[in-house]
């Protein structure tokens, strides 16, 4: 047992997320062994009483730091705290499944803005290569740019021999404002959807989302790639909708 002057007061330790979890675990362990106090010696009872006091302080701090870190109101924080405690008591696995499910939904996100399928649906053939006043690119150029960039990011994620050889901006944008054929238009849309399905598979099945992609450096993880492709696509989908509005092809 620690000497009296070595009892650690929890308020002196920074309330990091990891510490919040440790505080909950520590508090639960103290609850499990509290029954041992009945048969303890006088000295042990003193130590047990001190540990119980520290445990109460730790539990209170865990609640405070959870509320501050996840920005929940007290009732939500209590529910979150109870869920975490229940999982620890039941030895339930702490997985990242909710995050993966959200990433999958994010691949064709339509809660904050229009999704790809709707943005590209029903565009008259004669408007696919038409420039709108004040907007640099046509719908075809935006669609192809989404396809090319998404394909490149996917290759970066799955190809252990990936080398970045494409030049910006010429390799990422089609030179012609209009698709060469109706077939080329349909093929571009199909390719975007096909690669999107591959990103969904990555979100579901990648063993460690925070690991670097095969040739990645620094922060170039699978998780970053999933956010990157969604962020990039959302930006240009907004432009497609803007062009459609300007051309009178959006309702």
pTM score, whole prediction: 0.64
Comparing C-alpha atoms, which of 17, 88, 11, 12 is closest to residue 57? Answer: 11
From 69, 89, 109, the end of a domain falls on 89
Number of other CB atoms surrounding residue 59 within 10 Å: 20
* 80, 125: one domain: no
Q: How far is CA 151 from the centre of its chain?
A: 20
112: confidence class by pLDDT, cuts 50, 70, 90: confident
d(CA 132, CA 139) in angstroms, rounded, equals 9
pLDDT in the model for residue 246: 97
The DSSP secondary-structure symbol of 207 reads S
155-187: pLDDT as tens digits = 999 999 999 999 999 999 999 999 999 999 999
pLDDT in the model for residue 226: 97
* 169, 236: one domain: yes
- The answer to whether 243 touches 135, Cβ cutoff 8 Å, is yes
From 89, 116, 144, the end of a domain falls on 89
- Of residues 168 and 88, more confidence is placed in 168
> In the predicted model, is pLDDT for residue 251 greater than 60?
yes
pLDDT in the model for residue 131: 97
Alpha-carbon dihedral 212, 91, 78, 204, rounded to 10 degrees? 30
- The answer to whether 84 touches 78, Cβ cutoff 8 Å, is no
* 81, 123: one domain: no
- The answer to whether 204 touches 107, Cβ cutoff 8 Å, is no
pLDDT in the model for residue 75: 56
Q: Tell me the mean pLDDT in the region 86-93.
A: 54
Number of other CB atoms surrounding residue 42 within 10 Å: 7
212 has which bridge partners? 221
* 78, 101: one domain: no
> In the predicted model, is pLDDT for residue 3 greater than 70?
no
Lowest mean pLDDT among 14-28, 122-136, 202-216: 14-28
Cis omega before residue 187 (within 30°)? no
Q: Tell me the mean pLDDT in the region 53-79.
A: 51
Give Dmax over CA atoms of the chain in angstroms. 90
pLDDT in the model for residue 200: 97
Comparing C-alpha atoms, which of 3, 38, 146 is closest to residue 137? Answer: 146
Q: Tell me the mean pLDDT in the region 27-50.
A: 42
Q: Tell me the mean pLDDT in the region 61-65.
A: 51
* 116, 44: one domain: no
78: confidence class by pLDDT, cuts 50, 70, 90: low
User: And the tokens for 5?
Assistant: 């002057």
From 65, 89, 113, the end of a domain falls on 89
pLDDT in the model for residue 123: 98
The reply to whether 52 falls in a domain is yes
Per-position DSSP letters for 123-160, written without gaps between them: --GGGTTPPPTT-SS-HHHHHHHHHHHHHHHHHHHH-T
Domain containing 136: what range? 97-246
Number of domains in the chain: 2
d(CA 189, CA 120) in angstroms, rounded, equals 8
């Amino acid at each position: 047992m620690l000497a009296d002057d070595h009892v650690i007061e929890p308020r002196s330790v920074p309330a990091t997320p990891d510490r919040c979890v440790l505080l909950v675990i520590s508090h639960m362990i103290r609850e499990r062994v509290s029954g041992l106090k009945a048969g303890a010696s006088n000295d042990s009872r003193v130590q047990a009483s001190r540990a119980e006091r520290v445990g109460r302080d730790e539990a209170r701090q865990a609640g405070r730091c959870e509320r501050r870190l996840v920005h929940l109101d007290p009732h939500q924080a209590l529910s979150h705290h109870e869920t975490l405690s229940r999982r620890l008591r039941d030895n339930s696995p702490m997985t990242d499944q909710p995050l993966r499910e959200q990433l999958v939904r994010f691949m064709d996100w339509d809660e904050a803005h229009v999704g790809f399928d709707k943005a590209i649906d029903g565009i008259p053939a004669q408007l696919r290569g038409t420039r709108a006043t004040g907007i640099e690119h046509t719908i075809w150029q935006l669609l192809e740019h989404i396809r090319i960039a998404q394909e490149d990011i996917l290759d970066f994620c799955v190809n252990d021999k990936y080398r970045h050889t494409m030049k910006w901006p010429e390799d990422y944008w089609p030179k012609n404002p209009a698709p060469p054929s109706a077939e080329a238009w349909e093929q571009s849309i199909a390719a975007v959807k096909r690669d999107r399905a591959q990103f969904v598979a990555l979100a579901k099945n990648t063993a460690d989302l925070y690991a670097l992609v095969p040739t990645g450096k620094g922060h170039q993880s699978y998780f970053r790639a999933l956010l990157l492709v969604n962020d990039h696509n959302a930006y240009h989908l907004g432009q497609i909708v803007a062009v459609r509005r300007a051309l009178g092809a959006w309702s």
